[in-house]
Amino acid sequence: MTVTLEPAIHGDRVSLLRVLGPAHVWALGVGIVLVGEFTGWNFAADKGGALAALIVCWVVGLLYTSVAMIDSEVTSTVAAAGGQYAQAKHIVGPLMAFNVALFLVFAYTMLEVSDAILLGDTIVAKAGVEGLTHNSFIAATIVVLAWLNYRGVLMTLNVNFVITAIAYISIVILFFSVSPWTQGAVLKLNELVTPGNALPYGWIGVIAAFQFGIWYYLGIEGTTQAAEEVRSPARSLPYGTMAGMITLLIAAAMTWYVCASMMPWEYLGITYYPLWDAGKLTGSPLLENLLFVATLLAALASANGCINDAARAWFSLGRDRYLPTWFSAVHPKYRTPYRSILFLLPIALAFAFIADLNQAITFSILSGVLQYTFMSINIIMFRKKWPLGSIRRGYTHPFHPIPAIVLFCLCVVTFFAIFLGFGSQLIAMVAFYFLISLWFHFYRYKFVRRGDQFTMPWPKPQGY
Amino acid sequence: MSRYTPPEQSKAGQIFDIVVVVVAIFVALWLPLKMGLAGAAKSIDALDAKTWEALGQNPTMASIWEKLGYTPETAHDIIQNRFHYVIDWPTLIIMAAVLIGYFVFLFRASDREYRDVINEKFDDK
C-alpha cells in the first residue's frame, strides 16, 4: 500500500521544500556511507584479521538490513524532518527524542570530521611535499560543503548523486581490472590470508572487529533525515534506503575481496586508504589516479550528506523547543536550516583539528550503535502501540519481530566489541549522554509544549 | 487536563543554554582525547630479529611490503603492534551497568513525559 503523507504542519513558519525523489534518497544514504569502503572498514582487519573483516562485513550487513527494514516502516509512516528523532518523539517520548537527535548529530558530525581528515591526509600523501599539512584542506572542505548546504538541499543532493556514482563506479572498475576470476596474477588471496593468519586473535578478534565492521554501512539510516523534503516519503524512502543497502553490500564484498587479495592484513589494518593502495599495487597509473580521485569524492559526498543530516536533527531540536528556538530558523530564500548548519560548522572544524581518524570514527560509531539499540526497541513499541491495521503505514516490514531481535543482539555484541580496545571512550560517552539527559529532564523540558510534540494524525496509542 | 503553557525563555537564557550544550559537547568529545582515554589499546611486541621470516611474512607478503616502501625494520612496529584482548571484568561490569542504567532511565523518564504529551494531545479532543 502506498500513501502520500501530508507535510507536517508547523504554524505559519517557512517550511522545508519537498523537492527530492528516490534517487536523491539513494544518493544521501549511499553518499554518506560509501566513504566507509575507502577507509575505516579496514580497521576491522586490525582488530581481528582479514577473515574477521569479511565475517563482520556480512554479519553487520545483516544488522543494517534490519535497520533499513525497520527504518523504512517507521519513517514511511512518521514523515518529518529529523528522521529517527521524529520517530522517538511520537513513539517513546521527548527525552528519548532529545537523546536520539544528539546521537544523530554526534554520529554525523564526527563522520564529517573523519571525512575531512581523510580528504586532507589523502591530498597530503599524494602531494608528497615536505612540511605540507592537512589543516588547510580540512578547513576548506568543511567550509565549502557547509556553504553548499546553506544554499539549498536540491543542489546539495544533486552534487552528491553525481560524485557518489563516480566513486561507486571506480570500485567496480578496480574490481574487474584485477581479474577477480583468477588468482595468482594480481590477486593473491591464498598467499595473503592463510590458515595461520586468517584469524590472528581467534574468535574474540572477530567479535572485536564488529566495531569497525559498522563502518562498512554507518549512515545508511540517514536517508530518513530527508523525510520532510521528499515528494513521496512512503514510496521514496523505503525504495531509496533498500536500494542503497543492496548497493553497499555489493561494494563492501568487492572491496574486501580486492584489498584482502592485495595487502597483508597487518598493513590493511592500519592504512588510511585501502582502495587507493590497491590501485597503486596494480601498477596501473590510471587505476591509481582513479582511486585517488574516488577517495576524495567519496569523502566529499559523505561529508556533504553528514552536514545535511546533522543540521536537520539540530534544527528539529530547536523547532520543538528542546533547544533554544533560535536554531529552528529556515532561510527565507534558500529554505534550509541555515542557523543549525552554521552552528555545527565550528564544532566540526574544532574536532577535525584535535582528533585523529580512528578516534573520530569511534566517536561516530558509538553514537550510531546507541541509536540502533534505540531503534530495535522502538519498532517493538511502535507495533504494540499502533498494531497493524490501526494506522496507515507506507511500508510494512516482514518477519517482525525477528529483525528487531537480530538488531538488538548485534548491538550488544558491538558494545562488547567497542569495549575490547575502546572501553574508556564508551564509558565517557555514555556518561555524557546520561548527564545531558538529566539536564533535559529536570530543566530544559519545562520549555517544551507538551501536546505539540505529537503531530501525526493517529489515534491514541494503545495502553495510554 | 489543562493545557501546559511553558514559560517564555529570555534571550539571555537561550544564550546560556546554547553555551551549556556547546560546553557539554566539547567536554564529552574533547576530554577523552585530552585524558588519553580515546584510541586503541595496543602495544608493540618487540622482536630482536627483524627479518620478514621472524615477522611471520611469507615471500608474497614480503614483496608487497617492499612494493609499499617498507623494510623489515620499518614494518616491525606495524606488524608487531597488537591488541591484547584481556577481559577486564570490573571495567566490563561498570560499562554494562552504565549502559543499562542509562537506557532504563531514558525509557522510564521518557514514558513519564510521553504520558503528559498523550494526555494533553488527546484530552483536548
pLDDT greater at residue A426 or residue A7 = A426
Query: Do residue B14 and residue A445 have CB atoms under 8 angstroms apart?
Result: no
Quote helix, strand, coil % in chain A, to nearest 5.
70, 0, 25
pLDDT at B6 over 50: yes
Residue at A212: amino acid letter: F
* Helices A402-442 and A203-213: angle between axes, nearest 10 degrees: 60
> What single-letter DSSP state applies at residue A284?
-
Instruction: Tell me whether B104 touches chain A (CB under 8 Å).
Output: no
Q: For chain A, what is the domain count?
A: 1
- Our CA dihedral for A145, A37, A248, A225, rounded to 10 degrees, sits at -30
Q: Determine the pLDDT at residue A377.
A: 96
* Residue A135 placed within a domain: yes
Mark residue A327 as left, alpha or beta (left: phi above 0; alpha: psi -120 to 50; beta: remaining). alpha
**Contacts of residue A92 in chain B, CB cutoff 8 Å?**
107, 110-111, 114
- In angstroms, the separation between the Cα of residue B10 and the nearest Cα of chain A is 10
- Mean pLDDT (chain B) is 89
Provide the residue range defining the domain that includes A382.
22-453
* Residue A444 placed within a domain: yes
**Contacts of residue A45 in chain B, CB cutoff 8 Å?**
none
> What single-letter DSSP state applies at residue B42?
E
**H-type alpha helices, A386-445:** 402-442
Q: Determine the pLDDT at residue A82.
A: 64
> What is the band of A76 on the pLDDT scale with cuts at 50, 70, 90?
confident
Mean pLDDT across A93-111: 93
Number of H helices, E strands in chain A: 17, 0
pLDDT at B120 over 80: yes
| Main-chain phi, psi angles of A380, to 5 degrees | -65, -45
CATH of the domain at A38: 1.20.1740.10
To the nearest whole percent, how much of chain A has pLDDT over 90?
59
CA terminus-to-terminus distance, chain B? 11
Instruction: Tell me whether B88 touches chain A (CB under 8 Å).
Output: yes
Return the minimum-mean-pLDDT range out of A76-85, A166-175, A216-225: A76-85
pTM: 0.87
* Residue A386 placed within a domain: yes
User: B78-104, pLDDT tens digit by residue?
Assistant: 999 999 888 889 989 998 999 999 999
Q: Give the Cα separation of A307 and A314 in Å (integer).
A: 11
Query: Do residue B98 and residue A431 have CB atoms under 8 angstroms apart?
Result: yes
Q: Determine the pLDDT at residue A27.
A: 82
Determine the 3-state secondary structure of A190 from DSSP: helix
Q: Is the dihedral of CA B30, B36, B41, B42 positive or negative?
A: positive
Query: Do residue B37 and residue A424 have CB atoms under 8 angstroms apart?
Result: yes
ipTM for the whole complex = 0.86
**Contacts of residue B58 in chain A, CB cutoff 8 Å?**
191, 194
Q: Could you say which residues from 21 to 50 on chain B have a Cβ atom under 8 Å away from some Cβ of chain A?
A: 21-22, 24-33, 37-42
User: A23-65, pLDDT tens digit by residue?
Assistant: 888 888 888 889 999 999 999 999 999 999 999 999 999 888 8
pLDDT at A13 over 60: no
Q: Give the Cα separation of A455 and A11 in Å (integer).
A: 12
Q: Determine the pLDDT at residue A7.
A: 39
The cell for A435 is 548527564
> What is the band of B37 on the pLDDT scale with cuts at 50, 70, 90?
low
Size of interface A-B (CB pairs under 8 A): 206
Nearest-CA residue of chain A relative to B91? Answer: A423
Q: Determine the pLDDT at residue A277.
A: 97
* Residue A4 placed within a domain: no
The cell for B53 is 621470516
Q: Determine the pLDDT at residue A418.
A: 87
